[in-house]
Chain A
């Protein structure tokens, strides 16, 4: 075991995957010699050569389109989009192509590829370096959408994604790269070295896609969260003293519906938190699933705490970010309901 940041564990995942399977290739903007703007691919080119880890032109259409073609060929591309905000030029290749090639060819062609991208705010990235587009991906049938919340999961989920036979969108909450973040932006940063989930095996292991993790067991209310919001939820539960059960979804699609339903049926209350905008956000799907499957167990309306339906503002980052105060208020509200 070693102490790793999420950057190091993601790098270790690619290193392990490339070491085990020569079909794994890594490319994207600045990922080659330099090792990526967040350094996630640092050293991979040196270790595996420039044919397996290389710089790409600034063209998300090209990066993702090339990855689709390569995956169809039979190799396993794991490409980096520099920021999730930049993925849109490649969207057609994801939504119309990668997602449907298995289906439309009746299994004749398949696309085992991973598209990694840093997501979310909290780093003063403004509206073009802070977006959380996960709901856009989760809406598309034929792809999987994964969002880890800690170094251990990030490595295990990324290896599982690279080994998966279907296309995976792998969103990395960039505010978590160097440490857990509970939304108290005015407090000192906690490094991963001080967190138990910063303990990461150096060798191969996987965390299965489609399985949520219960981060905190509780009896009063179920909190459905992923990525950075796991730590905000933990802080809110602690600060309000409400006995919340915190479920880290880890994979948005396929979704671990059983764990969610079991928990909500037990607690009778549900608060959903995400950083992405609210309208048609992933929380809407979660709320609908809870309503459809747990309605007669509910003792209060389901509440969403989310980013507002505005672009991510630069100066007002912390007013926009759903921090522990807003989440705590939602917990209190849901507990006060009859």
Chain B
């Protein structure tokens, strides 16, 4: 070791900070928003290295005039788009109602996905029966855009007597194998690796099913994310790896997890995984990219990494108050707009939708949610009960109850 010249300055730790904090006036004019239609649409058998640009840009389809433009503008019929709009509006109505239910003391906790509805709702349209999502807690759109009964979701949120999970899970941690929705874990990122393993199993068995794994941008710092990329890359697993970048991990801005990388999507390039960045508030763009990526998986071409660029308009959860750490007007200043409003504008521009129809649909969905809530409340709420019998607490820890648990159940008097 040399003695050193003593001429270098003392080191200091760099800690990234978001641009705006409470009291600041947010200005996102420096965030580059590429023009809709500008990004290339490569063939699905492309090599990751040949589409490096797509990991740094934002693939967008709807322009400011509400038109679908460019190579990613897919052939969705007007009816399909209307259905997509309805899905998103259903999620929004559901979230509003459940947030209110939590405030009314009917349950302990809720998480909404306000502003992020397009991502799960559009993605679910390219999945088939038998495929499996490994979601985070903010992909309720995956269930609410299928025929999964809304009242069962509310039964789960209320941990009531009809809760499909018997009151064992925190509200919103749904599970439905039949609907391709893997049981949600509160331990972040674990599902990302599991989704890759599930996809590997489909390939080992010679089946045709594919998996999608979901993760928030903050949790990409977990080792499961990196392990997932290695395994997906090495074994060319039939999986679509989704990062939902909603800018905030509770109070921590995305720069803390991203570090010196330009984008989260670019993380995939080092693994040789085709990586795309998409406007997560553009239903048509998410749909097109999801279709492209799932096609790759189904054809045995391996994994795709997608960064959905969006913004968490609401609080992290009902236990959180974002006014303590971010500027108040951030959500309204966010340059990618509101996914519901944007799709509505598109349909109006197409001449197949109107403000009146929109209003009518909103009311219809609100009453649909209210009706489901009414049905669920017949089975009880968290605080007023009834709940499943406490004896069920000891069931399903193992397939067969071992002696020590039988003794504990007896001791508890059940």
Could you tell me which A residues sit within 8 Å of B by CB distance? 23, 25, 51-52, 56-57, 59, 61-62, 65-70, 72-75, 89, 92-93, 96-97, 100-110, 141-142, 144, 165-166, 210, 253-255, 257-258
Contacts and interface: CB of A to CB of B under 8 A. Distances in A.
Contact of A101 (B164, B183, B193, B223): B183
Contact of B193 (A73, A93, A100, A255): A93
A62 B404 CA distance: 32
Chain A CB count within 10 A is highest, among B185, B190, B197, for B197
Given A101-B183, A106-B396, A61 B177 contact: no
B127 to A, nearest CB: 16
Interface stretch (B10-18, B68-76, B228-236, B294-302): B228-236
A107 B396 contact: yes
Contact of B197 (A67, A141, A255): A67
B175 A106 contact: yes
Interface stretch (B39-47, B166-174, B246-254, B276-284): B166-174
20 contacts: A51-B203, A57-B234, A62-B227, A65-B190, A66-B231, A68-B194, A69-B193, A69-B197, A69-B201, A70-B197, A70-B201, A70-B204, A73-B202, A93-B193, A97-B185, A101-B183, A104-B185, A106-B168, A106-B396, A142-B398
Contact of A65 (B175, B194, B404): B194
Contact of B231 (A23, A62, A74): A62
Contact of A102 (B182, B199, B224, B397): B397
A166 B402 CA distance: 12
A25 to B, nearest CB: 6
B357 interface: no
B198 interface: yes
Interface in B197-238: 197-205, 211, 223-224, 227-228, 230-231, 234
B176 interface: yes
B187 interface: yes
A165 B175 contact: no
Contacts of A165: 399
A68 B196 CA distance: 10
Interface of B: 132, 134, 164-166, 168-169, 173, 175-177, 182-183, 185, 187, 190, 193-205, 211, 223-224, 227-228, 230-231, 234, 396-399, 402-404
B156 to A, nearest CB: 10
Contacts of A66: 193-194, 196-197, 200, 231
A103 B205 contact: no
B173 to A, nearest CB: 7
A110 B398 CA distance: 10
A67 B185 CA distance: 17
A103 B393 CA distance: 9
A101 B149 CA distance: 22
A166 B398 CA distance: 6
Nearest to B189: A92
A107 to B, nearest CB: 5
Query: Which are the 6 A-B pairs with shortest beta-carbon distances?
Result: A69-B197, A65-B193, A66-B197, A254-B402, A62-B227, A73-B201
Contacts of A57: 227, 230-231, 234
Contacts, number: 144
Contacts of A102: 396-399
B190 A105 contact: no
Contact of B198 (A52, A70, A255, A258): A70
B202 A106 contact: no
B404 A257 contact: yes
A93 B190 contact: yes
B403 A258 contact: yes
B230 A59 contact: yes
Contacts of B396: 102-103, 106-107
Contacts of A67: 197
Given A69-B200, A73-B205, 10 more contacts: A59-B227, A61-B193, A69-B199, A70-B201, A75-B204, A93-B194, A96-B187, A104-B168, A104-B169, A258-B403
B165 A61 contact: no
Contacts of A105: 165, 175, 177, 183
B181 to A, nearest CB: 9
A89 B399 CA distance: 27
A235 B231 CA distance: 47
Chain B CB count within 10 A is highest, among A59, A65, A72, A92, for A65
Contacts of A104: 165, 168-169, 173, 175, 183, 185
Contacts of A210: 402-403
Contacts of B204: 25, 51-52, 70, 75
Contacts of B168: 103-104, 106
A228 B199 CA distance: 39
B165 A106 contact: yes
Given A25-B204, A62-B193, A106-B168, A69 B198 contact: yes
A56 B227 CA distance: 11
A96 B222 CA distance: 15
Contacts of A69: 134, 193-201, 211
B230 A142 contact: no
B223 A75 contact: no
Contacts of A108: 164, 175-177, 183
Contacts of B200: 66, 69-70
Contacts of A70: 197-198, 200-201, 204
A69 B177 CA distance: 13
Nearest to A49: B204
Contacts of B194: 65-66, 68-69, 72, 93, 97
A23 B205 CA distance: 8
A203 to B, nearest CB: 26
A74 B194 CA distance: 13
B130 to A, nearest CB: 11
Contact of B399 (A59, A72, A166): A166
Contacts of A74: 201
A98 B376 CA distance: 31
Contact of A61 (B175, B224, B399, B402): B224
B304 to A, nearest CB: 18
Contacts of B402: 210, 253-255
A179 B198 CA distance: 38
